[in-house]
């Protein structure tokens, strides 16, 4: 299965989905003009991945910001992870957030409550500019 890699921009997150090395990661900001168009290939990748998963899937979410349309699409991604979990795969969503960003922490808590798969919350300090 081919890796799916997208370089992040000011409007779209960086995405690395690589089954061979076991790297599943979203980074940055997500406010694409058309969230369905941006996330469509990602959802399709997870659909294909679900047919032959790794023994463990750790999805690292290192998002700084996402808009409402992206939030709905991220929920779709997490639903794919939930399906893997329900099928018996070991899954974890690592939710990374800046220690002073309560909104991002709360968003992760909300997703955790909705999805019902293991979430790990990873706090880090804001990088100095």
Range of the domain at 98: 4-124
In a domain, 59, yes or no: yes
In a domain, 129, yes or no: no
Number of domains in the chain: 1
Confidence of residue 127 (pLDDT cuts 50, 70, 90): low
In a domain, 91, yes or no: yes
Mean pLDDT of the chain: 95
Tell me, what CATH number does 105's domain have?
Answer: 3.30.750
Taking only the tens place, the pLDDT of each residue in 32-72 is 999 999 999 999 999 999 999 999 999 999 999 999 999 99
SS (H, E, C) 23-86: EEEEEEEECCCCHHHHHHHHHHHHHHHCCCCCCEEEEEEEEEEECHHHHHHHHHHHHHHHHHHH
Report which secondary-structure segment, H or E, holds 108. Answer: helix 102-115
Whether this model's pTM surpasses 0.85: yes
126 pLDDT more than 60: no
25 pLDDT more than 90: yes
In a domain, 54, yes or no: yes
């Amino acid at each position: 299965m081919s890796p799916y890699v997208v370089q992040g921009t000011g409007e779209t997150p960086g995405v690395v989905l690589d089954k061979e090395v076991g790297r599943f990661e979203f980074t940055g900001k997500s406010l694409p003009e058309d969230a369905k168009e941006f996330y469509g290939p990602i959802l399709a990748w997870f659909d294909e991945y679900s047919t032959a998963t790794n023994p463990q899937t750790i999805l690292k979410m290192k998002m700084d910001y996402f808009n409402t349309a992206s939030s709905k699409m991220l929920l779709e991604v997490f639903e794919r992870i939930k399906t893997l979990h329900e099928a018996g795969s070991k899954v974890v969503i690592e939710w990374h957030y800046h220690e002073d960003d309560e909104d991002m922490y709360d968003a992760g808590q909300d997703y955790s409550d909705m999805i019902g798969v293991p979430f790990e919350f990873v706090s880090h300090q804001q990088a100095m500019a």
